[in-house]
Amino acid sequence: MSDAHASSDARRTGERPSAIVIGAGIVGATVAWALGKSGVATTLVDADGPGAGCSYGNAGAISESSVAPVAMPGVSRNVLGMLLDPEGPLRIRPARLPRALPWLLAFMASARPARVERIAARLHALHHGAVDAHLALAREIGAPELGVRHGHLHLYPDEAALAKDADSWALRQRYGVEVRKLNRAGIVSLEPAVSPRYQVGMFLPDHAMVVNPQRYVDRIVAAFRERGGRWSRDRILKIAPAGGSWVCASATDEWHADHVVVAAGIASKRLLAPLGIHPPLESQRGYHAMFEGARAPTSRIVVLADRKAFTTTMETGFRIAGTVEIGGTSAPPDPRRSAVLERIARETFPALAGAKVTTWMGHRPCMPDSLPWVGPARGRAGLHFAFGHGHLGVTDAPGTARRIVAAIAGSG
Ligand SMILES: Cc1cc2nc3c(=O)[nH]c(=O)nc-3n(C[C@H](O)[C@H](O)[C@H](O)COP(=O)(O)OP(=O)(O)OC[C@H]3O[C@@H](n4cnc5c(N)ncnc54)[C@H](O)[C@@H]3O)c2cc1C
């Protein structure tokens, strides 16, 4: 039994509350850091190591204004195309279709205009303050260079392509986001290396990015430990109530605490099933291609909006990330999908010619309505959810931590 077993005794004696956070992706790491800072005796457990899951290979965009859910009105029309085109930006593997069907139906149902409005309001509340919170966190953990506020530039070939995203831009603007529309000259003045394919830009000057998502998570966990947080590399197999507190067990160890925070990304579904809790999580597999050591062609997040791809100049090279593939968690990566990303990057930024590429695939933990489960579980005192952040887990890690801290320690 680990050290944390003493914490339920501590609660009985009125000492500080204790918590176990399962999962050290960007969400769990940020939650653990914030809990530790607020005086909660916190243990962070991960099966593989900080940032080993989806948080390893994302684009690092802090997209505070992305209030539009993934399912927007009209999404149903695209579903047939998703099935047919193995190289398109959205893809459903036919073998996954029967298992994913209930999720897909819920996904399409959430695209009704009135629901989109309600979802956007809730996403706005969670995203609010994300950029400032990340930049403050990067400073607090002693790595201010990891957070950079240079804005995001979304690119379109022409006005017709921009018009396809009109609803999501209108939603953003309704929430007061500053957006500057650019012509080709405006695009080139910000990012001279962009190919002439792109003639229309939408620039979000207040947005920011994390220039090394994996090092960021590592550093958050290191800072958490430096402040006295406990860290353990182990796979939790069971979560169970234990006389007013909770026990989490691996094959060889167990931890007791007043609170358990489930922040295990896509694996949260499997972990909660024995408790009779069944979150509607589905993996939207995403890919990246990384041009290691390439000369940086950009200085900010550049979104190739027509290709649904994000590009970022990272500390370690140039990354293009994106695509959605509904394909379950056990099928191997499809190399065609990262190859498409690589081709798009080379077409858009000719300066990448000759650079060597590595590829990656990760499981975005996605809810059909794009709303993560964040906060206390109803009717299970001490159990907390922090998963389902889909395309926006980096963005929403601080907002999630704020809510979990409020629930456990009574302050944000
Ligand atoms: C291609 C791509 C690009 C993206 N770009 C962006 C972006 O620019 N901006 C943005 O905001 N978001 C982006 N995202 C989304 C973002 O990466 C995810 O939402 C986020 O990483 C989810 O974080 P998480 O901590 O919930 O899950 P994860 O990072 O997957 O972490 C879960 C952790 O739980 C651990 N775990 C699982 N089971 C157990 C167990 N039984 N016991 C112990 N530990 C366990 C795993 O080892 C893992 O470390 C992108 C995603 C992809 C795929």
Res 4: pLDDT: 44
Atom nearest to 323 CA in ligand 1: 1
Res 411: pLDDT: 47
Residue 16 near residue 37 (C-beta atoms within 8 A):
no
Res 1: pLDDT: 41
Atom nearest to 23 CA in ligand 1: 34
Res 3: pLDDT: 41
Res 73: pLDDT: 83
Binding site membership of 52 for ligand 1 (Cβ less than 6 Å): yes
C-alpha distances in angstroms, 139 versus 183, 206, 211, 383? 35, 18, 14, 30
| Domains of the chain, earliest start first | 3-54+214-280+370-409 (3.50.50.60), 69-113+147-207+281-366 (3.30.9.10)
Q: How far apart are CA 192 and CA 194, in angstroms?
A: 6
Binding site membership of 221 for ligand 1 (Cβ less than 6 Å): no
Atom nearest to 391 CA in ligand 1: 15
The CA 356 to ligand 1 mean position distance, Å, reads: 25
Tokens standing for 17?
A: 């509350």
pTM of the model: 0.95
**Alpha helix segments (H runs only) across 26-76:** 26-37
Task: List per-residue pLDDT tens for the chain, 412 residues long.
Answer: 444 443 444 444 457 999 999 999 999 999 999 999 999 999 999 999 899 999 999 999 999 999 999 888 877 777 766 666 777 778 888 899 999 999 999 999 999 999 999 999 999 999 999 999 999 999 999 999 999 999 999 999 999 999 999 999 999 999 999 999 999 999 999 999 999 999 999 999 999 999 999 999 999 999 999 999 999 999 999 999 999 999 999 999 999 999 999 999 999 999 999 999 999 999 999 999 999 877 789 999 999 999 999 999 999 899 999 999 999 999 999 999 999 999 999 999 988 988 899 999 999 999 999 999 999 999 999 999 999 999 999 999 999 999 999 999 984 4
Q: How far apart are CA 4 and CA 41, in angstroms?
A: 8
Quickly count helices (H) and strands (E) in the chain: 13, 21
Residue 340 near residue 289 (C-beta atoms within 8 A):
no
